[in-house]
Amino acid sequence: MNLQHWEQQLDARRLSDRLAAVREIAQAVVTGRLPVAQPTPYMNLHCHTFFSYNAFGWSPSHIAWIARRDGWSMAGIVDFDVLDGLEEFQEAGRLLGVRTTVGIESRVFIDAYRDRVLNSPNEPGICYFMGVGIPAMPRIGTPAAKTLERLAAIARLRTQAIIDALNAYLHPVAIDFQRDLIPLTAMGNATERHILKAYHEKSVHTYPEERSLAGFWADRLGSDPGDVQAMLKDTVRLFELMRARLMKHGGVGYVQPDPKNYPSLDEFIAMVQECGGLPAYAYLDGTSDGESDIGALLHFFRERGVRVVNVIPDRNWNIKDPAEKASKVARLDAMIRACRELDLHVVAGTELNKQGQRLIDDFTAPELAKHLHAFVSGAEFVHSHAQSR
């Protein structure tokens, strides 16, 4: 038995190699050669895979194995703008005995909130939105398939616009979409985090001497060279600084959202429902002007077919500042009460798109433990829905 080899194969380029590794691991588990944790009631229904961006480079098969290894009650993948991992994740879950759900996440434009920020900071009307419990890919040529194609095209145009702006600003460090970015992806779906990695790799090649490299990034990011030099050994911190200074609102690579370049809420909901899934709102933390009246916002979504609200737990309770923590925990409590009143289901999970994030959230923390029943029942609802389609 060579677990290290199998785990490497779980992230292989070819699907056949990944599933072959799953079968080997499953057999080793069944025969007792590979121990796994006892089952728990805990789950993560928001794992990004390498079909969008996973900080560990994990495939859907790898996430299914982590869930089996660690005793998750259920695992869910949610990739940006694609459903490329759906069939693989379902098969890997079946082989490993893991209950799975599949979702998709994107950004939509909501005309009714064009003057208010929802869950995308500094971007009125733009909303991170999801579909969960999707049982199957849309048939080729259907409206849902065409919407998926449009999402991919929009994402590519936005990525190219970011690169064009950053290449001019970061000269002589420049990247090419096809040559430098696409090889970092599994199937061509490049995200902001792929862009960060590509620019970092190109900067290391351009400035192989550490002091010069630190000086370059300090100049471009407006930071102290000593601080940046320390970050070179901690790329998580460096990438977050790069993302904040270069790509987010006010940065030179920030692409101002144009409503014409986003699907409407109704269009995205129609796609999710045509695929057999459940439309879901991605709750942030209740502090934006749109989320501050959470009851009204959730009522708005409920009237449009939303049945599920997704929560990323750590950003709502695991906060150092006591006052901020108290405020966000209170808002989380209020959001879950509102969901109960509106017959909306709540699911939880953390993306795994950044090093340092938990594989599974700390549901024993008092702030989350009191809501564990809601998270478990929400997961069961989503899973049962997908199985019934």
Q: Do 332 and 368 have their domain in common? A: yes
378 and 282 inside one domain: yes
Specify the pLDDT at position 234: 86
Domain shared by 178 and 101, yes or no: no
Three-state DSSP state, 287? coil
Task: Assess whether 231 and 292 both reside in one domain.
Answer: no
Q: How confident is the model over 89-116, as pLDDT tens digits? A: 999 999 999 999 999 999 999 999 999 9
Residue burial 200-211, b: 16+ Cβ < 10 Å; e: rest: bebbeeebeeee
**Element housing 107 (H / E):** strand 100-109
Contact 113, 257 (CB under 8 A): no
User: What is the model's pLDDT at position 244?
Assistant: 93
Print the domain residue range for 158.
Answer: 151-247
Q: What pLDDT, on the 0 to 100 scale, is given for residue 276? A: 97
Q: How many domains does the chain have?
A: 2
In a domain, 215, yes or no: yes
Token pair 């779906």 is found at 189
DSSP 34-94: S--PPP-S-EEEEE--TTS--TT---HHHHHHHHHHHT-SEEEEEEES--TTHHHHHHHHH
Confidence (pLDDT) at 19: 98
User: Alpha helix (H) ranges present in 133-289?
Assistant: 143-170, 192-206, 210-221, 225-231, 235-242, 265-274
Please give the Cα distance from 96 to 140 (Å, whole number).
30
Q: How far apart are CA 134 and CA 361, in angstroms?
A: 23
Whether residue 17 is contained in a domain is answered as no
Same domain for 377 and 347: yes
Question: Are 375 and 304 in the same domain?
Answer: yes
Same domain, 119 and 182: no
Q: Are residues 123 and 163 in the same domain?
A: no
Q: Give the chain's residues under pLDDT 50.
A: none
Name the DSSP letter for residue 177: I
Is residue 133 domain-shared with residue 155, that is, in the same domain? Answer: no
pLDDT tens, residue by residue, 306-336: 999 999 999 999 999 999 999 999 999 999 9
68, part of any domain: yes
If DSSP codes are grouped into helix, strand and coil, which group holds residue 133? coil
Side-chain-side CA neighbours of residue 115 (13 Å): 0
Last residue of a domain, one of 247, 267, 300: 247
Q: Around Cβ 261, how many Cβ atoms within 10 Å? A: 15
